Amino acid sequence: MDKIDVMLLSELAQGVPLKSQPFNDLAVKVGVRVEEVLVRLQNLKSAGVIRRFGATLKPNSIGFTANAVVAWNVSCERMDEVGLYFSSFREITHCYERSSVPGRWDYNMYTVMHAQSRQMIEQMIKLLAETVGIQNYVILYSKRDLKNSVKREEV
């Protein structure tokens, strides 16, 4: 990596503007042509310096005021099947497995859900639970946005 790569990474950390040609401003800021920016970003990704490139949305800012983690107790034999099914829903942004603590915390699969209301989340969870035949779950609602320290209104 050279000085230009470091400047690119520093600028990218500030975010990419939502416009038709988002890298033009970046090219001007670091003093190279936009084609060079694109080549350098591809090289940084190929080298593993950049793992992935994607959008991160703040659910609250786009109307999703109800946010929850649902902890599920899924048998090991069904983990892949259930995880693939849960992951197919757009309301579920994360789906992952974690070890349970037998007798203390028996949940081993977690889904992160966003919706416009708690009622919508609960309807979705009921549908998921009935479809996969799992009734052992707990819903953990967000009370505040820890990343931005913004307290969420409780419904």
Q: How far apart are CA 71 and CA 139, in angstroms?
A: 7
Q: How far apart are CA 153 and CA 122, in angstroms?
A: 17
pLDDT digits 0-9 by tens, 94-153: 999 999 999 999 999 999 998 888 899 999 999 999 999 999 999 998 776 555 544 444
pLDDT digits 0-9 by tens, 34-52: 999 999 999 999 999 988 7
pLDDT digits 0-9 by tens, 13-26: 888 877 889 899 99
Quick one: tokens of 38? Answer: 């694109």
pTM of the model: 0.58
Q: Which residues neighbour 10 within 8 Å (Cβ) at sequence distance 6 or greater? A: none
